[in-house]
Amino acid sequence: MTTLRDIMTKDVKVCSPHEPVTAAAKIMRDINCGSVPVCEGKKVVGMITDRDIVINCVAEEKDCKSVHCHDSMTRDVITCAPDTDVHECARIMSEHQIRRIPVVENGEMLGICAIGDLATVNIHVNEAGEALSHISEQLH
């Protein structure tokens, strides 16, 4: 059984709740992703997406340097344990229409699993593709 511990990214870039949304946007730009975990220490307290920043800051014509991540982030974060089977993770991603899931144990983030990580396990390419297609369907 392949678990998230086997495929997750361990060196995760995060931002704190009190940082400006520009800090999250720079992380997204630098690592080419659309969401960043918001953490207090090692505890995940939210996720912020590029869409959150556009809708809650840019579209409202707010100063992006003065809007904090906690003002725009999603607080109800879907997480998985490191021992979660990759099949189960693909199902959860599909069900919740998300592309990245923080991997948490005892309240601390150990890593993150992205939809692309699932695709690196050859046997799971179809599931990752199916999860992504369900996510994409929901966005249109």
Tokens 């975990």 found at: 37
Rg (CA), the chain: 15
Quick one: pLDDT at residue 94?
87
Note down pLDDT in tens along the chain; length 140 residues.
889 999 999 999 999 999 999 999 999 999 999 999 999 999 999 999 999 999 999 999 999 999 999 999 999 999 999 999 998 999 999 899 899 999 999 999 999 999 888 877 754 445 555 655 655 555 54
Quick one: pLDDT at residue 124?
44
Are residues 98 and 16 in contact, defined by beta-carbon separation less than 8 angstroms?
A: no
Tokens of 45: 């307290």
- CATH number for the segment(s) 4-139: 3.10.580.10
Single out the residue of 67, 46, 132 nearest to residue 97, CA to CA. Answer: 132
Q: Residue 50, SS3?
A: helix
| 40 backbone dihedrals φ, ψ, rounded to 5° | -105, 105
The length of the chain, given as a count of residues: 140
Helix (H) or strand (E) holding 104: strand 100-105
Quick one: pLDDT at residue 117?
87
